[in-house]
Copies of this chain bind each other. A is one copy, B any other.
């Protein structure tokens, strides 16, 4: 069965039914799918956080090397990761799908199942959307969250002297994508948006800047440094990599440092902490607080005129 067989409103009803079966939680959801717009009622004293991100067939994913469910999960994770990088709690997301009428309904079902699985894991219900006919499939998600007033984590808040940390490990997703690109396996892994870590950081008083690593460590660090007017010194040898990463890279003939620094889509958080005269928290202490492994990878320094070459994923 194809999308065209169900028609626009048949498809909307199908998605609405799937969403109503999911238990993504609806605290603060007043009106969901089916009206002109969704209505949310966040707790008092919170700022409202909004982010949008798209996955386009042929650019960000191929139907041939990952499941529709996996693509759906990754689409929502990309947005949840942006909320995590702001220290926000998710409230809900809208889902705009552009797709050919010849797309199989079971592919749409897979996408929606993936979206709803992540929605349930992270308490971020599907609250609305839009369907359009297009030659190429694209999934555009806008996620809404909230953060205690004035506590959003920003890119421009790094200062010289700050210590630089990352959560988790880097390069694992890029390795899987590189493998799938040469036909060795499918893309199966779905990164974990570091929502708990982001919220813990938003409660700390000595945090500087924060960003999620979507374009690659160096490109995203660049965004922080650009906005903050600083430079950085990194200890590339200290970068946390997945187990057996070097051997896997060697077998594939790719440079492990390049994958870990420029690979993108890790969706780990990069953040800075003010250095204090006292020793400051260790990475292990931070890991306990954030609920995820944390590694110190360098420090922020005063702006250096000559900047290293920018690197990372570019869209145009």
Binding site for B on A (CB under 8 A): 3-4, 6-9, 11, 30-31, 34-42, 44, 47-56, 58-60, 82-83, 85-86, 88, 92, 94-96, 98, 101, 127-136, 138, 140, 142, 144-145, 147, 149-150, 152, 154-156, 210-212, 227, 314-316
Q: Which 4 residue pairs of A and B lie closest in terms of their CB atoms, listed nearest first?
A: A37-B51, A142-B142, A36-B85, A8-B315
- Complex Cα distance, B134 from A92, in Å, reads 26
A/B interface sample: 28 pairs, CB < 8 A: A6-B316, A7-B316, A35-B154, A36-B51, A36-B212, A37-B50, A37-B82, A37-B83, A37-B88, A39-B147, A40-B48, A44-B44, A50-B128, A50-B142, A52-B95, A52-B128, A52-B130, A52-B140, A54-B140, A56-B132, A58-B134, A96-B142, A130-B140, A132-B138, A132-B315, A133-B316, A134-B136, A135-B136
Complex partner residue of A59 from B42, B82, B133, B144, CB under 8 angstroms? B133
Complex partner residue of A39 from B8, B41, B49, CB under 8 angstroms? B49
Q: Which residues of B contact A58 (CB under 8 A)?
A: 134-135
Q: Which residues of B contact A11 (CB under 8 A)?
A: 316
Q: Is the CB of A52 within 8 A of B315?
A: no
Q: Is the CB of A130 within 8 A of B54?
A: yes
Interface centre among A37, A58, A156 (most CB of B within 10 A): A37
- Complex Cα distance, B36 from A85, in Å, reads 7
Q: Which residues of B contact A134 (CB under 8 A)?
A: 56, 58-59, 136, 138
Please tell me how many copies of the chain the complex holds: 2
Q: Is the CB of B98 within 8 A of A56?
A: yes
A229 to chain B, nearest CB (A): 13
Which partner residue on chain B sits nearest A269 by CB separation?
B36
- Complex Cα distance, B60 from A98, in Å, reads 12
- Complex Cα distance, B47 from A127, in Å, reads 14
**With A37-B50, A42-B48 in contact, is A30–B152 under 8 Å at CB?**
yes
Which partner residue on chain B sits nearest A145 by CB separation?
B37
Q: Is the CB of A31 within 8 A of B154?
A: yes
Interface centre among A101, A127, A130 (most CB of B within 10 A): A130
**With A3-B316, A11-B316, A316-B7 in contact, is A47–B52 under 8 Å at CB?**
no
Q: Which residues of B contact A41 (CB under 8 A)?
A: 47-48, 149
Q: Is the CB of A96 within 8 A of B9?
A: no
Q: Which residues of B contact A149 (CB under 8 A)?
A: 41
Q: Is the CB of A52 within 8 A of B154?
A: no
Q: Which residues of B contact A135 (CB under 8 A)?
A: 58, 135-136
Complex partner residue of A142 from B7, B36, B94, CB under 8 angstroms? B94
Q: Is the CB of A211 within 8 A of B36?
A: yes
Which partner residue on chain B sits nearest A149 by CB separation?
B41
Q: Which residues of B contact A133 (CB under 8 A)?
A: 56, 59, 315-316
**With A96-B140, A316-B6 in contact, is A39–B132 under 8 Å at CB?**
no
